[in-house]
Amino acid sequence: MTIRTVETKPFEGQKPGTSGLRKKVVVFQQPNYLENFVQSIFESLEGFRGQTLVLGGDGRFYNRHAVQVILRMAAANGFGRVLVGRGGILSTPAASCVIRKYGAFGGIVLSASHNPGGPQEDFGIKYNIGNGGPAPEKVTEAIHARSRAIEFYTTLEADDVDLDRQGTVQVGDMTVEVIDPVADYAELMETLFDFDAIAEMFATGEFRMCYDAMHAVTGPYAVEILERRLGAPGGTVINGVPLEDFGGHHPDPNLAHAKKLVEIVNAADGPDFGAASDGDGDRNMIIGHRFYVTPSDSLAVIAANAALAPGYKDGLAGIARSMPTSQAADRVARDLGIPCFETPTGWKFFGTLLDAGKATVCGEESFGTGSDHVREKDGLWAVLMWLNIIARRRDSVAEIVRAHWRRYGRNIYSRHDYEGLETDAAEGLMDHLRKATGSLPGQRFGYYEVEKSDDFSYTDPVDGSTSSGQGVRVLFNHGSRIVYRLSGTGTEGATLRVYIERFEPDETRHDMDPQQALADLIDIARELAEIGPRTGRDAPTVIT
């Protein structure tokens, strides 16, 4: 086998975002495009020769081809071993689990998360460091810098590896181990949750659930854990076979894209519990029978009840939430006497807190929840935590959430997404808001008075690193907020996310529809940002 050096030239736009590099498949299919980025990753690292790399992805179109390219390049660049999931499959949390369990140097995860898949859709790639978490900014900045100056990449002339056969093969001097993508992750889950109590709940036949894997990566994980190890009836997992195009659907676990699940659980004879995960398995949606749980409330309920799970029986060191996530978790933290950290959006910001033992449970409003068991958000972990809570409390999802509201009050919350905006218009809107922040405090908008307004910045309490320009916050009296930020997860145009929140202590008002309860704040949000005039949109694309 021969190592080959291939001359190349830089591509514009290979700057990793909060979740790596995401582009259309046709962009990645350009000659040398993928190879340039992979070589840039390797050249940004030190001390990896002879070390172990973990590799896998969500199974979307182009996943298998990319795995073979990376295997040959890893061998040519000096890695000693690669652990790759069978079929090229590894959910994002499972990849983190494998990196940590086997002491790998790092890992490459192939995914565009909740974005659509297929020949004309999206693909993504990101590097995770040795703690199992996404590369911090100093690493992604180094990757980007290298991608702008790259002149060549190195690869190995070798046959493709049979990804469907578990076992060990040699690629040059490098060992490739094709591993069971589910086993290590499932074993970790058994150490965290009361599988006996959950299995007993299923065995009674009185509790039913539906899990929608959305033809994405978590299908095999959910079948193994829910149906085989916990004894849920066959068919509990729907859309359980991973497909390259996710069955033509959008693998985003929310009310808009998981319509089949919502219909099943909301039916008169629907199951007690419903859940879904996204393309790469790091997001989740939780619903009860005719009762939707917002991700912000899910984080708060999990934190308040985590001690019911064996892996968390000694309590939590702290809670961390992304800035746009509702303040419901803050109230739980105060009650427990532990800190609650407010970070920018992006799971990598939780990594130092978790590594330092300052936080145990973390969450984002964008359907992401997790803990210190790995360094990624983990959709199936959240589902199992909810099953553990239900099994121990023997209450319905609605009863658990309403009891939580009675104790802590309800942070009524909604997110309005304006997708596919003209980039210049979206950035102009944010510039307009940033300029207005200094003059907003003290202004009244009906019932609400602005107490504070800023462009959120963050200083990491562990390593002292700073991140600015993370979103405009408008903080009102009575605990209400409006937050604006541009999302970095799309591949076309810009997505404006507007987060609206109001605290409601009155139990008699806890069952209000969020859009009605927040109607005045929604109008204020549109007015402040001049959304209509600046974007030409009179309504959001998606409301969650």
Tens of pLDDT, residues 143-158: 999 999 999 999 999 9
Residues 330 and 375 in one domain: yes
Q: Interior CA angle at 295 toward 133 and 530, to 5°?
A: 100
Residues 166 and 289 in one domain: no
pLDDT at 50: 97
pLDDT at 9: 97
Give the separation between CA 197 and CA 390, rounded to whole angstroms: 10
Banded pLDDT at 137 (limits 50, 70, 90) = confident
A 10 A CB-CB count for 219 gives: 25
Give the separation between CA 286 and CA 434, rounded to whole angstroms: 34
Please determine, for residue 493, whether its predicted confidence score (pLDDT) is greater than 90: no
CATH number at 496 reads: 3.30.310.50
Taking 3-state DSSP, the helix, strand and coil percentages for the chain, each rounded to the nearest 5, stand at 35, 25, 35
Residues 256 and 314 in one domain: yes
Are 395 and 492 a contacting pair, CB within 8 Å? no
Please determine, for residue 372, whether its predicted confidence score (pLDDT) is greater than 60: yes
What rounded mean pLDDT belongs to the chain?
96
Q: How many CA atoms lie within 13 A of 41 on its CB side?
A: 28
Residues 425 and 508 in one domain: yes
Please determine, for residue 490, whether its predicted confidence score (pLDDT) is greater than 60: no
Give the separation between CA 193 and CA 204, rounded to whole angstroms: 19
Banded pLDDT at 444 (limits 50, 70, 90) = very high
String of DSSP letters for 61-106: TTHHHHHHHHHHHHHHHT-SEEEEEEEEE--HHHHHHHHHHTT-SE
Of the candidates 367, 382, 408, which is a domain's last residue? 408
pLDDT at 489: 56
Tell me the percentage of the chain whose pLDDT exceeds 90: 93
How many structural domains compose the chain?
Answer: 3
Q: Any idea which of 74-88, 245-259, 272-286 has the lowest mean pLDDT? A: 245-259
Pick the catalytic residue from 44, 113, 277, 414.
113
The tokens of 330 are what? Answer: 């803050």
**How large is the average pLDDT for residues 308-334?**
97
Of the candidates 141, 158, 180, which is a domain's last residue? 180
pLDDT at 227: 98
**How large is the average pLDDT for residues 158-162?**
97
pLDDT at 245: 97
List all residues 6 or more positions away from 350 whose beta carbon is below 8 Å from its beta carbon. 133, 320, 343, 359, 362, 370, 375
Give the separation between CA 186 and CA 188, rounded to whole angstroms: 5
Determine phi and psi for 379, rounding to 5 degrees: -65, -45
String of DSSP letters for 337-378: T--EEEE-SSTHHHHHHHHTTS-SEEEETTTEEEETTSSS--
Residues 196 and 206 in one domain: yes
**How far is residue 153 from each of residues 69, 72, 73, 78, measured CA to CA in Å?**
12, 11, 8, 13
**How large is the average pLDDT for residues 279-288?**
97
DSSP H or E stretch at residue 476: strand 472-476
String of DSSP letters for 4-27: EEEE----TT---BTTBEEEEHHH
pLDDT at 488: 64
Give the separation between CA 319 and CA 333, rounded to whole angstroms: 7
Tens of pLDDT, residues 164-209: 999 999 999 999 999 999 999 999 999 999 999 999 999 999 999 9
Banded pLDDT at 487 (limits 50, 70, 90) = confident
Residues 384 and 397 in one domain: yes
Residues 446 and 390 in one domain: no
Closest residue by Cα to residue 93 from 397, 384, 353, 461: 384
Are 265 and 290 a contacting pair, CB within 8 Å? yes
CATH number at 272 reads: 3.40.120.10
Please determine, for residue 443, whether its predicted confidence score (pLDDT) is greater than 90: yes
Long-range Cβ pairs for the range 354-357 (8 Å, 24+) = 354/133, 354/320, 355/131, 355/462, 356/462, 357/317
Banded pLDDT at 542 (limits 50, 70, 90) = confident
pLDDT at 348: 86
Global pTM reads 0.94
Tens of pLDDT, residues 7-17: 999 999 999 98
Give the separation between CA 308 and CA 371, rounded to whole angstroms: 15
Residues 208 and 347 in one domain: yes
Give the separation between CA 99 and CA 121, rounded to whole angstroms: 28
Please determine, for residue 346, whether its predicted confidence score (pLDDT) is greater than 90: no
Residues 133 and 68 in one domain: yes
String of DSSP letters for 239-260: S-S--TTGGGS----STTT-HH
Tens of pLDDT, residues 445-474: 989 999 999 999 999 999 998 989 999 999
**How large is the average pLDDT for residues 129-138?**
93
Are 470 and 484 a contacting pair, CB within 8 Å? no
Please determine, for residue 55, whether its predicted confidence score (pLDDT) is greater than 60: yes
**How large is the average pLDDT for residues 282-301?**
97
DSSP H or E stretch at residue 238: strand 237-238
DSSP H or E stretch at residue 123: strand 122-128
Residues 454 and 504 in one domain: yes
Of the candidates 180, 205, 233, which is a domain's last residue? 180
Domain that holds residue 44: 2-180
Known active-site residue 113 = yes
pLDDT at 491: 55
Residues 421 and 521 in one domain: yes
**How large is the average pLDDT for residues 96-113?**
97
pLDDT at 381: 98
Are 493 and 419 a contacting pair, CB within 8 Å? yes
Q: Residue 542: what residue type?
A: V
Residues 227 and 316 in one domain: yes
Closest residue by Cα to residue 283 from 233, 214, 349: 214
Closest residue by Cα to residue 57 from 271, 265, 279, 263: 279
Please determine, for residue 516, whether its predicted confidence score (pLDDT) is greater than 60: yes
